[in-house]
Amino acid sequence: MGGQADSLVLNLVGPSTFVVFAVAFLWAWAISDGRNYLLLIAACCLLSSVGGIFRLIVGWPSPVGVHIFISSLFYISATLAGCEGILRRFGHRIGIAADAFILAAFTGLALWFVYVDPSFVARVYIQNLLPGMIFLYTALRLSHLARGPYSERAVFWILLVFAIQFFPRTFITLAMLPDPSIENFGQSAFWPVLQLTNAVLGTALLLAILIAELSEMIDRLRTERDLDQLTGVLNRRGFEDRAGQLFEQAEGRQPALVLLDLDHFKLVNDTCGHAAGDEVLRAVGALMRSSLRQSEVLGRIGGEEFAILIPDGGRDLAQILVARLEHAIAAADFDLPAAAPSIAGSFGVAVRGAGESYLDCFKRADAALYQAKSEGRSRAIFAGSQQPG
């Protein structure tokens, strides 16, 4: 009696685990912005769980053909739903027409070898090699993930191993059976091995996909948190985080910090309205983005104040960039009424001294910007060298 109870608990581990993952993927879908491929992966988990419970209720081996057919139908449907969801997660797909064709072909073959030409060996091949081929196709389509982030690499390699194991497991199990009958097959090592591989590799695969999904969600939330919605550049928090990291990694280099404040911007809002002012800020943000190199960091750190971090190049590159921005702003058409003040900017620039922190460098650049504004605006002031102590 105890052995039967232990066996029942063991057989329920897989279906229960799949239900938990189904709930997790449904939750991920609920908080996502329309990522419907998560519903497909959740359906895969639910179908696998129902297939496992159905097989447990019917028992194995089962001489009733319809029971064999129904449980197999659950598993192949789960395979198609899961692979379709995984592919769509990374921008690919099998396609509804192909899914329907595979499901129809499997159904036809399964029914044929259950009722028309009963063949236990043929059923074993169909029910194991076809899912293996579908998983292998999915893995090969996603081979580019092997060069991606670690979370995506984990998805690819686990998926590939999961796909490949279908083939040796099936061939070796059949080869080891002296009499490949359903009774002997039910007593073979096939089912313990099948449950183990599905439990270990299936769980690992679902966990890797869930981690990849949640990692992307977190990155997206972090990006949204650090982005200025009006101009599309980093906000103050995002800029300071990125600039602080670059300063910590800047040994042997001379990062330069450029601060830009738009002159008399309050007059633009007062004479033309805040909507016009917002358009100016948007245009300046776009203009600055197009003027920077990929390695340079841009942020909006105040109402009309922007900051640029040049990771290397020191004073020379800072001078070139400031001149380029002055010319671009002067030449830009901001589509303002004739009575509106002209758009220009004051610049404060500081080049990092030896061992200087981001905060100290920012204070010097801010002081230079204040000096530029107090001396008449529309000019650039470069802070002097960092003073010791």
Q: Residue 382 pairs with which residues in a beta bridge? A: 349
- Provide the pLDDT for residue 286: 92
Same topology, domains 2-225 and 236-382? Answer is: no
- Provide the pLDDT for residue 334: 85
Q: Considering only 9-18, 39-48, 113-122, 212-221, which range has the smallest mean pLDDT?
A: 9-18
Q: Which SS3 state, helix, strand or coil, does residue 63 take?
A: coil
Which amino acid appears at position 291 of this protein? S
pLDDT digits (tens, 9 = 90+) for 181-209: 555 555 656 666 667 777 788 899 999 99
Report the sign of the C-alpha dihedral through residues 263, 267, 271, 276, in that order.
positive
Average pLDDT over residues 222-240: 88
- Note the Cα 79 to chain centre separation in Å: 23
Two structure tokens written together for 93: 């797909």
| Consecutive H or E run containing 347 | strand 345-351
Q: Residue 306 pairs with which residues in a beta bridge? A: 260, 300
* Residue closest to 216 by CA, chosen among 143, 150, 160: 150
Two structure tokens written together for 154: 């984990």
Q: Which SS3 state, helix, strand or coil, does residue 246 take?
A: helix
Residue 201 CA to residue 196 CA, distance in Å, equals 8
- Note the Cα 155 to chain centre separation in Å: 12
pLDDT digits (tens, 9 = 90+) for 304-337: 999 999 988 788 899 999 999 999 998 888 888 7
pLDDT digits (tens, 9 = 90+) for 40-96: 999 999 998 888 787 767 655 455 556 667 878 898 999 999 999 999 999 999 999
- Provide the pLDDT for residue 387: 41
- Provide the pLDDT for residue 250: 72
**Position 360 pLDDT exceeds 50:** yes
- Provide the pLDDT for residue 247: 87
**Position 299 pLDDT exceeds 90:** yes
Residue showing tokens 């105890």 = 2
Coarse DSSP helix, strand, coil percentages of the chain, rounded to the nearest 5 percent = 70, 5, 25
DSSP 8-state code for residue 305: E
Q: 7 burial class (0-12, 13-18, 19+ CB within 10 angstroms)?
A: exposed
In which band, very low, low, confident or very high, does the pLDDT at 386 lie, cut at 50, 70 and 90? very low
Residue 316 CA to residue 352 CA, distance in Å, equals 13
CATH dotted code for 236-382: 3.30.70.270
In which band, very low, low, confident or very high, does the pLDDT at 385 lie, cut at 50, 70 and 90? low
Average pLDDT over residues 276-303: 90
CATH dotted code for 2-225: 1.20.1070
- Provide the pLDDT for residue 155: 94
pTM of the model: 0.67
In which band, very low, low, confident or very high, does the pLDDT at 389 lie, cut at 50, 70 and 90? very low
Which sequence spans correspond to the domains of the chain? Answer: 2-225, 236-382
* Residue closest to 82 by CA, chosen among 18, 154, 152: 18
Q: Residue 305 pairs with which residues in a beta bridge? A: 261
- Note the Cα 130 to chain centre separation in Å: 29
Q: Phi and psi dihedrals of 378, rounded to 5?
A: 55, 45
Q: Which SS3 state, helix, strand or coil, does residue 383 take?
A: coil
In this structure, the chain runs to a length of: 389
Q: Determine the straight-line distance between the first and last CA of the chain, rounded to whole angstroms.
A: 81
* Residue closest to 174 by CA, chosen among 130, 134, 126, 136: 126
Q: Residue 261 pairs with which residues in a beta bridge? A: 305, 346
**Position 11 pLDDT exceeds 80:** no
Residue 345 CA to residue 259 CA, distance in Å, equals 10
- Provide the pLDDT for residue 276: 87
Residue 305 CA to residue 295 CA, distance in Å, equals 20
Q: Are 324 and 287 in contact (CB under 8 A)?
A: no
Two structure tokens written together for 388: 């010791």
Average pLDDT over residues 361-372: 94
Q: Are 301 and 236 in contact (CB under 8 A)?
A: yes
- Provide the pLDDT for residue 3: 47
Taking every pair of C-alpha atoms in the chain, what is the biggest distance, in angstroms? 97
